[in-house]
Chain A
Amino acid sequence: MKFGVVVFPGSNCEADCYYVVDKVLREDVDYVWHRETDVSSYDCLILPGGFSYGDYLRCGAIARFSPVMEAVADFASRGGLVIGICNGFQILLEAGLLPGAMLRNTCLRFICRFVHLRVENADTPWTNRASLGQVLRIPIAHNEGNYVVDPETYRRLEEEGRIILRYCDPEGEVTQEANPNGAMGNIAGICNEGFNVFGLMPHPERASEEILGSTDGLVIWESVMAYNREKG
């Protein structure tokens, strides 16, 4: 399976994603420079975390205009697998590949810590190796993860099973206290209608090795690899 890690000016988790695909998953991986216009050779594109273009404007608002984003949109429209992590999620929102927007965390501070996430749909390319209701321990690191969307879309996301991960407590209860940033419905990750585009605020690449304190992020990588295999 071949992964492409898209590099925007200001991305800063691209090397981490590359490392995990290369050294932990032992799959093929390339960096994809933001000026590339052809991404057709990849099975899965990763939009990594960071501060694209400094995020001086709304997070991801400039990155969406990078030449590569047209190619990403085209890739996604043909069913290509795209995962946006943290800033990558924000870019997918700005590009309209996923619905909704991000506000600042309600505490008005950057937060970096491990959180618990409940798997809300285990029948997606990204979670097929997880079980429904499984609790994952994966870190977040962001200032703008307070997800909002209009009520109508929220209802649709819920009905269509497109809410993939919600912040929860260690026991899997979705509570106000377990919500680190104020996100609507404790949303930590969502998919598009085709489930081939996945955006999430937590960093699965930071929870892919025992030595870093958790391997719960692996289930996401293993799911997408299994999906890709089965798709043939």
Chain B
Amino acid sequence: MAELYEELGLTADEYRDILRVLGREPNKVELGMYSLMWSEHCSYKSSKMVLSQLPTRASYVLQGPGENAGVIDIGGGLAVVFKMESHNHPSAVEPYQGAATGIGGIVRDIFTMGARPIACLDPLRFGDPSKARTRYLLSGVVAGIAGYGNCLGIPTVGGDIYFEPCYDENPLVNVMCIGIMPKERLTRGVASGVGNAVVLIGNRTGRDGIGGASILASQEFDEKSQEKRPSVQVGDPFTEKLLIEACLELLDKGLLVGLQDLGAAGLSCACSETAARGGVGMKVWLERVPLREEMEPFEIMISESQERMLAVVEPRHLEEVLEVCRRWGLNAVVVGEVTEGDLLEVFWYGEKVAEVPASTLATGPVYDRPAERPAYLDEVWAVDLESLDHPSDYGRVLLDLAGSPNLCDRRWVYEQYDHMVQLNTVVYPGSDAAVLRIKGTSKALAVSCDGNSRYVYLDPYLGTQIAVAEAARNVVAAGGVPMALTNCLNFGSPERPDIFWQFKEAVRGLAEAARFLELPVVSGNVSFYNESFGAAVYPTPVVGMVGLIGNLAHRRTMGFPGEGLLVVLLGETLPELGGSEYLKVVHGLVAGRPPALDLDREKRTQTTCIEAIRRGIVRSAHDCSEGGLAVALLECCCAGGMGASLRVDTEIAPHAWLFSESQSRFVVTLAAEDLEAMQELAGSREVPVVVLGRTGGDRLVVNDWIDLEIASMKEAREGALERLLSGETA
């Protein structure tokens, strides 16, 4: 066994722990189960201690972290379920299937809780877009998301894409799913009731995805990565669609005690987690598992074949459960039984092939890893930004920014996703937040994802706070009140002190911002080992925010909605070019400190904006972020097909005023007669109101700095991604 445990990704210490727990040597099946369940991916052994500082409670939180997904109460008897996950390594090895099965996994997490999945959002990070590998990965990932998500009939309504060379080899594919349900349908992944049947529903089990969690997800990349292709699962969205319908029908009819999806670590995880949560044991008869090919018991226990669910069913409901599955054309087989005690016992044609306490599988080791501030920070902070040349043609710079990989129009991507199915999407992709109406009510959800990893690289604590603030700001700009968040934390190897320092700082920032803005963290995911050939990706925490729009009439978009409106900036512009798109695009620099964030000011600004929207003062709203005020204004013009003429009086140098990424700012429009009300509202919260000018015409004019036609601005940003991907421009 000694050689095997290493091959399976366990350390010598962990192996000793297994010996201690069992009081004997594990056999091959047991060792396989422990290796998966104690992998970083499944056990959170490096992150658990750090994550415990996150705020997870609020009066409306029905389920926080620890289940398949978080759940919040949005009133009217409805609950919203959501979570974000990563599928980074599978997507690096096989982009189409990696991304597709990422969607499959996160969607299962949502309907497992009893909710109908109503939307997906996909934050993606890729390398240098001029490289062929990036184009291969991006087109494969987008096609995979589309191929799987479109088939399920779940609209993909948002997400974001950033390009940085650090992701060349190790792209990030994060996936978020949101579901909605009547509160009483909330279901947990718990086994209970001795004698209840354990039913495996869905696809047959095969050799795909053997060791996905340990081999692929919990190790960094090297030249052997291509050999890991067999660890990537293959998706079958058709079966997943049937699973959604069948499981929701079973839950509606009240036929299930518990429901759990099979993801990482397959049956090992589903059985041990449901048993551990319920404080019971479980017997499993592996010969009953429907197989695609001949397999060993060890392989059946750890296979990560997709589209499978584990249901716990009272014997009196069993026949009806099997009948519902049959009608949907799904396999459904009793593979086990809930037992007293806490032993997970696995049988193979009468022979006991594993016997382990379920709780010891489900709660792995916990590590307090050493952390050390990385040296690069002093270097990047020391860069003298003051001495850089100022541009002479601001209009040219704005067009360059608008057409740059990180800021240009994303239509090429989101038009490949069905973003309309289910008839809920009332604000389409390309806005600050997607807005989904809740049929039968006057409410809507506003959802957004955010995570500028350049900021986090330059200051993990501050950068992560900004991610929270900006995700919330996006929701506010759409007219929503932010309620709760999920997150996906993508980092390098936790075994490296410099990386672990980044991780700790990021989580500290996340916790503090979430606490201050009163946004409980209800679910999340950690993805470590995002490294290749010794180099880690930028530390990349991604935040997914869900907010509630109490009245659909309060939804807002960014586009200038009419002529003669005042264009107003809520917030203050400071010369903060550190970490900006401007620095990257114009000077090729990733340096300096990210813009400052005052959480109190952030909160006051958001409250002001939402209040002004509710009172009907604010007609359109846009969060000011990457690319600064100038890019925000350009986006407002392009989205509304309406120009603006602006006069700015400032002490700040023009390029800094235009392109600084100062936080806590919104660009809004309002009628002139509402200005006083706006000023009163903002004044009481000490939020600056700066009147920039008026909408009108077909040009964006700012002092004598910028004078551009809408048509030329549109041309710069639309189609830019397609041009980049076809290799037309470097």
Contact check: which of B147, B241, B328, B418 meets A112 at CB < 8 Å?
A: B418
Distance to closest chain B CB from A106 (angstroms): 14
Q: In the complex, given contacts A15-B422, A143-B150, A212-B426, what are 4 additional A-B residue pairs having Cβ atoms less than 8 angstroms apart?
A: A109-B143, A111-B415, A112-B419, A205-B423
The residues of A that contact B416 with a CB separation of less than 8 Å are 109-112
* Cβ-defined partner of B415 (8 Å) among A49, A51, A113: A113
Which among B152, B329, B420 is the interface contact of A206 at CB below 8 angstroms?
B420
Q: Name the segment of A52-60, A166-174, A193-201 touching the other chain.
A: A52-60
Q: Does A9 contact B (CB under 8 A)?
A: yes
Q: Can you name the residue of chain B whose Cβ is closest to the Cβ of A7?
A: B245
With an 8 A cutoff between CB atoms, is A125 at the interface? no
Which A residues are in CB contact (< 8 Å) with B241?
A: 9-10, 12, 51, 54
B439 touches A19 (CB 8 A): yes
Does B395 reach chain A (CB closer than 8 Å)?
Answer: no
- A residues contacting B by CB (< 8 A) are 9-10, 12-13, 15-16, 19-20, 23, 49-51, 53-56, 109-113, 139, 141, 143, 203, 205-206, 209, 211-213
The distance from the CB of A178 to the nearest CB of chain B, in whole angstroms, is 15
The distance from the CB of A136 to the nearest CB of chain B, in whole angstroms, is 16
What is the minimal beta-carbon distance from A115 to any residue of chain B, in angstroms? 11
With both beta carbons as reference points, the residue of chain A lying nearest to B329 in the complex is identified as A9
What total of A-B pairs shows CB separation below 8 Å?
82
Find the A residue at minimum CB distance from B236. A54
User: 1/0 contact trace for B150-166 toward A, CB 8 Å?
Assistant: 11110000000000000
Nearest residue (CB) in B for A211 is: B426
CB distance from A138 to the nearest CB of B (A): 11
> A16: shortest Cβ distance to chain B, in Å?
5
Q: Please tell me if the beta carbons of A139 and B152 are within 8 angstroms of each other in the complex.
A: no
The residue among A10, A23, A143, A203 with the most chain B CB atoms within 10 A of its own CB is A10
Q: Report Cα–Cα, A146/B151, bound state, in Å.
A: 19
Interface residues of B (CB under 8 A from A): 143, 146-147, 150-153, 236-239, 241-242, 328-329, 414-423, 425-426, 428, 437, 439, 552
Q: How far is the CA of A20 from the CA of B146 in the complex (A)?
A: 25
The 8 Å CB contact of A12, one of B328, B415, B417, B421, is: B421
Closest to A109 in B: B416
A12 proximity list for chain B (CB < 8 A): 151-153, 241, 421
User: Taking the nearest CB of chain B, how far is it from the CB of A34, in angstroms?
Assistant: 10
B443 to chain A, nearest CB (A): 13
Q: With A and B bound together, what is the CA distance between A112 and B631 in angstroms?
A: 26
Contact B151 A54 (CB under 8 A): yes
Shortest distance between the CB of A3 and any CB in chain B (Å): 16
When chains A and B are docked, how far (Å) is the Cα of A20 from the Cα of B419? 18
The 8 A-B residue pairs with the shortest CB-CB distance in the complex, in nearest-first order:
A12-B153, A54-B238, A51-B151, A141-B418, A112-B418, A110-B146, A110-B416, A16-B423
Whether the pair A206, B423 counts as a contact (CB closer than 8 A) is yes
What residues of B have a CB within 8 angstroms of the CB of A23 in the complex?
439
- The answer to whether B415 touches A211, judged by C-beta atoms less than 8 angstroms apart, is no
A141 (CB) vs chain B CBs: closest residue: B418
Which of chain A's residues has its CB closest to B155's CB?
Answer: A112
15 sample A-B contacts, Cβ–Cβ < 8 Å, listed by A number: A12-B151, A12-B153, A12-B241, A13-B421, A49-B421, A54-B151, A54-B238, A55-B238, A110-B417, A112-B150, A112-B415, A112-B417, A112-B420, A113-B415, A213-B428
Query: B238 contacts A13, CB within 8 Å?
Result: no
- List residues of chain B with CB within 8 A of the CB of A50: 153
Chain B residues with CB under 8 A of A112: 150, 414-420
